[in-house]
């Protein structure tokens, strides 16, 4: 059965192009359209689509308000279209906090000049959020998500909890993608300002989104969060967020660890890439690393985790039930590289207890 999609955008041109792109994929079927947020709320209740694509800026009712209304009435995976500006970044982050699953860039040039590439990206993203995001997982609430008891075939059961007393870590490294903007505050928000170790965060996100995201995390958490700059030292109680469009690695300069921000290999799919950051940590910090792999599409982080494990690092992965997309943590679990598989809220709590 095809995935049923509701398309919401105030521009008739964009709606027509998006509908044509989605209907070109046999896995998808557009079952309705709306030109503003209020129409979207009504259509969502009447049609009950599997996925909704939603613009942010619309008349009558904006996309953020519509997301809140839809998630309160009938939680549905929502994919936002975002303009790649500073204001667009702020609005998109608000939509994700309201319950949207993910976002894709909204570009007039891209949708007209490189339509095939945009269509493939859009269709794959809609399929992913439909297959990976149940209504329970897309809620933006801070209460724990109830597990469904289902585990993906081939994933090993989590091993018994290790006794953590006496284990010392020099750095905590976190990887996330789809679902990360709402997962990260739930983890970092439980950490005290006195956290005795630095954190490195790799979140797949465009370049003009990461500054706004870092500022938002800094406001929401007791620890200090900033977008990483070249030469920033690793400091206890500070989280460095890899800037979008760049790679973040760790090097020792003058006897202290600092981050290096650079373009990296142009052939890599992800900028930033968790594999790149984790791999550099494996070279510099030996086994004194605690790595967390959170919700996200794809398998970025798996090979970096493999290198870390060879040096004796500890790896925690988010469980399937609390993940928006069980791609990245699932890839690590399938490779049998995890020390613990935890639900999202347990990750933050256990991390805080570890350094208590």
pLDDT band at 111 (very low <50, low <70, confident <90, very high): low
Is residue 159, in this structure, part of any structural domain at all? Answer: no
Give the per-residue pLDDT at 254. Answer: 67
Q: Is residue 286 part of a domain?
A: yes
* Confidence (pLDDT) at 178: 92
Burial of residue 268 (number of CB atoms within 10 Å: 0-12, 13-18, 19+): middle
Residues 241 and 304 in one domain: yes
Whether 70 and 195 map to the same domain: the answer is no
CB atoms within 10 A of CB 79: 23
CA separation for the pair 70, 327 (Å, rounded): 26
Cα separation values, 275 from 6, 32, 298, 303, 316, Å: 35, 40, 12, 6, 15
Does residue 248 lie in a domain region?
yes
Say whether both 192 and 122 belong to one domain.
no
Among candidate residues 35, 140, 177, 322, the one labeled active-site is 177
Q: Kindly state whether residues 134 and 208 are assigned to the same domain.
A: no
What pLDDT shows up at residue 328?
A: 97
CATH number of the domain that residue 278 is part of: 3.40.50.180
- Give the range of the structural domain holding residue 218, as residue numbers without chain letter: 171-354
**Same domain (yes/no): 297, 182:** yes
Tell me the pLDDT tens digit for each residue of 218-227.
Answer: 999 999 999 9
- The pLDDT tens digits of the residues spanning 146-196 come to 233 333 333 444 444 444 445 689 999 999 999 999 999 999 999 999 999
Decide if 105 is inside a domain. Answer: yes
CA–CA distance, 201 with 181 (Å, rounded to integer): 11
Are 66 and 111 members of one domain? Answer: yes
Contact 326, 295 (CB under 8 A): yes
Q: For residue 148, is it within any domain?
A: no
Note the pTM of the prediction, 2 decimals.
0.86
SS3 labels along the chain: CCEEEEEECCCHHHHHHHHHHHHCCCCEEEEEEECCHHHHHHHHHHHCCCEEEEECCCCCCCHHHHHHHHHHHCCCCEEEEECCCHHHHHHHHHHHHHCCCEEEECCHHHHHHCHHHHHHHHHHHHHHHHHHCCHHHHCCCCCCCCCCCCCCCCCCCCCCCCCCCCCCCCEEEEEECCCHHHHHHHHHCCCCCCCCCCEEEEECCCCCCHHHHHHHHHHHCCCEEEECCCCCECCCCEEEECCCCCEEEEEEECCEEEEEEECCCCCCCCCCCHHHHHHHHHHHCCCCEEEEECCECCCCCHHHHHHHHHCCCEEEEECCCCCCCECHHHHHHHCCCCCEEECHHHHHHHHHHHCC
| pLDDT of the residue at 285 | 79
Q: What total number of domains does the chain contain?
A: 2
Interatomic CA distance for residues 107 and 113, integer angstroms: 10
- If asked whether residues 112 and 178 sit together in one domain, one would say no
Round to whole Å and give the CA distance between 160 and 210: 36
Domain end among 138, 157, 185:
138
Does residue 300 carry a catalytic annotation? yes
Catalytic residue among 300, 319, 322, 323: 300
Tell me the backbone φ, ψ of residue 93, rounded to 5 degrees: -65, -35
Q: Rounded to whole angstroms, how far apart are CA atoms 246 and 206?
A: 10
Region 72-91: what's the mean pLDDT? 89
If asked whether residues 131 and 176 sit together in one domain, one would say no
Hunting for tokens 């020792």 — which residue is that?
A: 252
Same-domain check for residues 247 and 116: no
Q: Give CA–CA dist 256/233, Å, rounded.
A: 7
Q: Does residue 164 sit within a domain? A: no
User: Of these residues, 25, 204, 280, 323, which one is catalytic?
Assistant: 204
Share of the chain above pLDDT 90, in %: 74
Domain boundary among 119, 138, 157: 138
Residue 129's nearest CA partner among 153, 102, 104, 150 is 102
Assigned domain for 143 exists: no
Residues 214 and 131 occupy one common structural domain: no
Long-range contacts of 155-159 (CB under 8 A, 24+ apart): 155/320, 155/330, 155/333, 155/334, 156/333, 156/334, 156/336, 156/338, 158/319, 158/338, 158/340, 158/341, 158/342, 159/338, 159/339, 159/340
Q: How confident is the model at residue 142 (pLDDT cuts 50, 70, 90)?
A: very low
Mean pLDDT value across the chain: 88
> Does 130 share its domain with 184?
no
pLDDT (tens digit, 9 = 90+) per residue, 284-340?
877 799 999 999 999 999 999 999 999 999 999 999 999 999 999 999 999 999 999
Q: Is residue 158 part of a domain?
A: no
66 pLDDT higher than 60: yes
**Which CATH number characterizes residue 67's domain?**
3.40.50.2300
User: Do 166 and 196 contact (CB within 8 A), yes or no?
Assistant: no
Residue 131 falls in the annotated catalytic set? no
If asked whether residues 41 and 186 sit together in one domain, one would say no
């Amino acid at each position: 059965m095809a995935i049923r999609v509701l398309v919401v955008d105030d521009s008739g041109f964009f709606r027509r192009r998006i509908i044509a792109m989605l209907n070109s994929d046999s896995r998808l079927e557009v079952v309705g359209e709306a030109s503003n947020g209020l129409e979207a709320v009504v259509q969502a209740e009447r049609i009950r689509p599997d996925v909704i694509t939603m613009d942010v800026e619309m008349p009558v009712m904006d996309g953020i308000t519509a997301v809140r209304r839809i998630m309160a009435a009938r939680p549905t995976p929502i994919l936002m279209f975002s303009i790649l500006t500073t204001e667009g970044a702020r609005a998109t982050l608000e939509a994700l906090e309201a319950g949207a699953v993910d976002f894709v860039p909204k570009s007039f040039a891209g949708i007209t000049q490189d339509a095939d590439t945009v269509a493939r990206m859009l269709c794959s993203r809609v399929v992913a959020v439909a297959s990976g995001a149940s209504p329970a997982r897309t809620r933006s609430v801070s209460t724990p998500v109830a597990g469904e008891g289902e585990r993906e075939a081939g994933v090993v059961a989590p091993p018994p909890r290790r006794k953590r007393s006496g284990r010392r870590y020099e750095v905590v490294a976190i990887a996330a993608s789809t679902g990360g903007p709402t997962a990260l505050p739930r983890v970092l928000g439980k950490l005290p300002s006195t956290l005795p170790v630095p954190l490195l965060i790799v979140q797949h996100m465009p370049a003009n989104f990461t500054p706004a995201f870092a500022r938002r995390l800094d406001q929401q958490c007791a620890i200090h969060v900033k977008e990483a700059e070249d030469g920033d030292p690793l400091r206890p109680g500070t989280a460095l967020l890899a800037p979008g469009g760049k790679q973040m690695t760790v090097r020792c300069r003058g006897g202290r660890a600092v981050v290096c921000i650079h373009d990296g290999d142009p052939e890599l799919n992800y900028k930033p890439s968790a594999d790149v950051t984790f791999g550099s940590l494996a070279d510099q910090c030996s086994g004194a690393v605690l790595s967390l792999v959170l919700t996200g599409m794809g398998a970025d982080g798996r090979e970096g985790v493999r290198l870390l494990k060879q040096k004796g690092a500890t790896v925690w992965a988010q469980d399937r039930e609390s993940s928006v997309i069980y791609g990245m943590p699932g890839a690590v679990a399938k490779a049998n590289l995890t020390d613990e598989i935890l639900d999202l809220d347990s990750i933050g709590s256990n991390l805080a207890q570890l350094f208590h």
